[in-house]
Structure 1
Amino acid sequence: MNRTYYAPTGGVPPQTQLLTDRAVFTEAYAIIPKGVMMDIVASYLPLWEGTRAWVLSRPLSGFTETFSQYIMEVAPKGGSDRPEPDADAEGVLFVVEGELTVTLDGKAHLMSPGGYAFIPPASAWSVRNASDKPVRFHWIRKIYEAVDGLDVPPALFLNEADITPDPMPGTEGKWATTRFVDTADLRHDMHVTIVTFEPGAVIPFAETHVMEHGLYVLEGKAVYRLNQDWVEVEAGDYMWLRAFCPQACYAGGPGKFRYLLYKDVNRHMKLKPRV
């Protein structure tokens, strides 16, 4: 199976470019198109060398509250020996371009495009780009919600190429999900998956649920129904959905439509403190 992974490269648009774009921020969802990820909006992080980040989402009161997602760009020889400042944070890394070396508990793991890593909270880890080309990867961060009686899940280093997607029942494989974590493993409080639609495949109803989403389009294009709106998305675009935002899609083709999907799972809803 041929797979592609869109990665931004930054830059600055020419002065002749029109200001009109597809960026949208509403009370229910946001669209951050690939054209937004230019040099001027990049962020720089403490204790990282030769690195910049595009922040796609962050916890906002009244919007989404569980996670943040970055696209990291690390130059040759760049990286960090102390990447995560919050000991309570778990993380998922997903490589879209180049090679990334992640060292966890003294063991080095070389990640290539399609590579997935789950980093448990309070881990001793570092990241380096030992190659001669930039590496670009997604970094999804979430405060881990511990449960009495459940262990913290162990680290994982996998690659999409080695996993058979699970077809959605009744779709003849036209809608499938690549799962890096067993859905029955309740130690995990978030899932990061890859969803694939064949040309013409659909989500045939407006999903309306409690899970927050970050959706980064890896490949292809589609028309997405978000709340009351139809929006066009393509490789490199990002969709940020708050809980209960109605959502559906139609994959327009001519090739596959694929996206990296975050959602929070497997935990009780937090209630207000009793007075």
Structure 2
Amino acid sequence: SEFLLLGLSEEPALQPLIFELFLSMYLVIVLGNLLFILAVSSDSHLHTPMYFFLSNLSLVDICFTSTTIPKMLVNIQTKSKVITYVGSYTQMYFLTLFGGWDNFFLTVMAYDRYVAICHPLQYTVIMNPRLCGLLVLVSWIMNVLNSLLHSLMISRLSFPAELEIPHCFCETKQKIKLACSDTFFINMVMYLVTVLLGSGPLAGILYSYSKIVSICGIPSAQGKYKAFSTCASHLLVVSLFYGTVLGSHSSAAASVMYAVVTPMLNPFIYSLKNKDIKMALKRLYGMADLFLLFCP
């Protein structure tokens, strides 16, 4: 009826430090991504496909971390390692769902950059609101079905009476590894799904950037620099995302990098050298000051 999450460390002296560290990181994730969403939504100049997908990415990052960090903080504070059977499957379902959405939005953003750089005159026609909405809807349906498949497949497995998960949250691969029953068929299905929904988007990103590298008719050095500078932030986030995903298969610490550190850095990476976002944040800050002036 319940499982035990062993966490990153069982050393009692380290628990307060871990609690403070992850609480701080969670607050930064929520506030940073919320500010990014508010900045984009409050500025009409940022109502473009690129910022639409970035806002969705920020929202997914908030939801993704909210499935793991609050439960971990509660367990540390109450000195309990327990997660219920239903809670473990709920957490696993939403981890798979939001992780899939992260992957999808990074792929769509790569396609958006490809169209903007290689077909600038047709950009507004190709990346129209209907297509953007359709891409989000298709992603939602695909990832909901994928998450349901993961949950249903794992619900058929048998587990020990006292299952100890050497992690701070429930991951699919961890539960499969600790199952008592035969997992060959499930491993094969999961492998095929990973190839389709994991390698497919990565191949799309690589294809988009292979086209961008050819510069598509931008002869000047200044034009090339401008083209690549618009992709630099996205390339950094893609590298961080896939690097931590691959590392998450080796250790719990690497999984935390993927589940916590990457969502925390994303809004800063996209805002650091982005003049439009900085201007939107300044206007947002000015509006907040005005609101406090009239509504103290």
Q: TM-score, structure 1 length as denominator?
A: 0.26
Q: Could you say which structure has the higher helix fraction?
A: 2
Structure of greater Rg: 2
Greater relative CO, 1 or 2 (CA 8 Å, sep 6+) = 2
Q: Could you say which structure has the higher strand fraction?
A: 1
Q: TM-score, structure 2 length as denominator?
A: 0.25
